[in-house]
Amino acid sequence: MKTKTLKPYAFDVSEPIFKSCCRVYVNMTMDDMITRIKLKYPGFNFRKVANEDAGAYFFWFYYKPTEQNYPVLWVRKFNWLLAEQAIFIHELAHFIFYEARHKAILKSEEFFCYMLEYYTRECWRKLKKLY
């Protein structure tokens, strides 16, 4: 079986109703992701997670010049395997809980379900460009 080279890819996904957005990085090391963020946001300072061997991670950072929070979802390797999709959705759930706290919509099951469906569909649509 021929294996495909995993192309590094970064994209934004935004949702119009609750006006949320997340930057997604796939198929790159954490250091590569940090380097890319620093190019766009000079002064970005990231403390690596305790488990530096993590295969995926959700975080957000505050960028003082724009006075905004920027949510980021990073997945080291994504090649449509079921396990990789599950890891991606796990991190996507962290993003949705972040949005729920940020927008004070903590008690709405429908919010979580809608956001998970919307962001999964949009991420898959963008990731299909890779393969």
The tens place of each residue's pLDDT in the chain, 131 residues long, gives 345 668 999 999 999 999 999 999 999 999 999 999 999 999 888 876 666 667 899 999 999 989 999 999 999 999 899 999 999 999 999 999 999 998 888 677 889 999 999 999 999 999 998 76
Report if residue 50 sits inside a domain.
yes
The boundaries of the domain holding residue 115 are 9-130
Work out whether strand 68-75 and strand 56-63 pair parallel, antiparallel, or are unpaired. antiparallel
pTM of the shown model: 0.89
**Whose CA is closest to 75, among 91, 62, 63?**
91
Residue 103 lies in a domain: yes
Beta 20-26 vs 68-75: how paired, if at all?
parallel
- Whether 4 is in a domain gets the answer no
Does residue 2 belong to any structural domain of this protein?
no
SS3 114: helix
Which string of DSSP letters, residue by residue, matches 60-94?
EEEETTTTEEEEEEEES--SS-HHHHHHHHHHHHH
Domain count, the chain: 1
Which strands sit side by side in the sheet containing 9-15, from one edge to the other? 9-15, 20-26, 68-75, 56-63
Is 3 inside a domain boundary? no
Contacts of 131 (CB under 8 A, 6+ apart): 4, 79, 80
Q: Is residue 91, in this structure, part of any structural domain at all? A: yes
Residue at 1 is within a domain: no
